[in-house]
């Protein structure tokens, strides 16, 4: 859908507030931004290939610049010549060279992790778990791109990124483990304590009272041998109930006994 009319001239579009539109290099159509283009075409717009813009005030078409060379209007308070990004709303935008795109939130609040290949908040600089090229994958919930998404990402303890909104929906639906590796997404100590109490208050039938099973903990990734119980199988290393059955050992090992 091409952007026309007074509202688009003043405000831009629903995605960005700006006073110019792109001349799409792929189809030569006029769109206020790449997102507007992608929503209405059967192909995507490569932002880096945009070479011409159209002023939404006077209609002049020109090379990519911060201001209109005909009427002088500023297309956007923030302008990135690399990303072809114009925005009149202050979001503390900054261009990250290693990421290759603009980020929001203020450069002083982020650092670029070379291994994860993305910008992360300084609060997790010394605690996050690195996953090679983590941001170059798709969100494991919605399968949409993470690296260029305008939706903020959440970094759980396992290091597998997912959209924050997808993370919140997972928790709302009662799913508390990573869709990729099954590690717990949130602090579960309170839940494990409650399950301990349930186990103590729920005696098993006599024929199962001495049954031991080999299990793998999805949180600490260790195997242990634990007492079978319908409530859950408790890891003997970290106390998690986020476990699954494992192959029985062929010889006596050093796994702890319950």
Domains and CATH numbers, the chain: 6-87 (no CATH), 94-172 (no CATH), 189-245 (2.20.28.10)
Say how far apart CA 28 and CA 107 lie, in whole Å: 34
pLDDT at 248: 82
Q: Residue-wise over 89-109: b if at least 16 C-beta within 10 A, else e?
A: eeeebbbeeebebbbeeeeee
Number of Cα atoms under 13 Å in the Cβ half of residue 68: 18
pLDDT at 209: 84
80, 73 contact by CB (below 8 A): no
Say how far apart CA 238 and CA 189 lie, in whole Å: 10
191's CB contacts (< 8 A; 6+ apart) are: 241
Q: What are the pLDDT digits (tens) for 36-74?
A: 999 999 999 999 999 999 999 999 999 999 999 999 999
Length of the chain: 258
C-beta neighbour count of 178 within 10 angstroms: 20
Residues of the chain under the 50 pLDDT cut: 1-9
Which region, left, alpha or beta, applies to residue 117 given φ > 0 means left and ψ of -120 to 50 means alpha? left
182, 242 contact by CB (below 8 A): yes
List the structure tokens of 112.
């670029």
230, 203 contact by CB (below 8 A): no
pLDDT at 6: 41
70, 62 contact by CB (below 8 A): yes
Check residue 151 and report its DSSP letter.
S
Q: Residue-wise over 112-149: b if at least 16 C-beta within 10 A, else e?
A: ebeebbbbbeeeeeeebeebeebbebebbeeeeebbee
pLDDT at 258: 54
To the nearest whole percent, how much of the chain has pLDDT over 70?
92
pLDDT at 31: 96
Say how far apart CA 104 and CA 152 lie, in whole Å: 10
119, 111 contact by CB (below 8 A): yes
45's CB contacts (< 8 A; 6+ apart) are: 22, 24, 25, 26, 31, 34, 37, 38
Q: What are the pLDDT digits (tens) for 159-176?
A: 999 999 999 999 999 999
pLDDT at 254: 53
User: Tokens 């099973």 identify what position?
Assistant: 213
112, 118 contact by CB (below 8 A): yes
pLDDT at 160: 93
């Amino acid at each position: 859908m091409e952007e026309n009319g007074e509202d688009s001239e003043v405000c831009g579009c629903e995605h960005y507030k700006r006073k110019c539109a792109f001349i799409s290099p792929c189809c030569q159509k006029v769109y206020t931004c790449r997102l507007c283009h992608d929503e209405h075409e059967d192909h995507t717009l490569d932002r880096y290939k945009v070479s011409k813009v159209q002023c939404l005030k006077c209609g002049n078409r020109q090379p990519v610049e911060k201001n209109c060379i005909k009427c002088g209007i500023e297309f956007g308070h923030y302008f990135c010549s690399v990303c072809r990004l114009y925005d009149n709303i202050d979001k503390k935008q900054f261009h990250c060279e290693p990421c290759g795109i603009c980020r929001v939130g203020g450069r002083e609040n982020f650092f670029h992790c070379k291994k994860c290949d993305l910008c992360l908040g300084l609060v997790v600089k010394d605690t996050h778990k690195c996953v090679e090229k983590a941001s170059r994958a798709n969100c494991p919930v919605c399968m949409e791109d993470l690296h260029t998404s305008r939706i903020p990402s959440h970094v759980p303890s396992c290091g597998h990124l997912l959209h924050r909104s997808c993370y919140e929906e997972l928790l709302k639906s009662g799913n508390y483990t990573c869709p990729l590796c099954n590690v717990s997404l949130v602090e579960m100590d309170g839940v494990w304590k409650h399950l301990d109490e349930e186990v103590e208050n729920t005696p098993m039938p006599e024929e199962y009272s001495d049954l031991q099973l080999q299990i793998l903990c999805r949180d600490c990734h260790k195997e242990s041998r634990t007492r079978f119980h319908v409530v859950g199988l408790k890891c003997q290393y970290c106390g998690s109930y986020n476990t699954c059955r494992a192959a029985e050992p062929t010889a006596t090992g050093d796994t702890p006994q319950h």
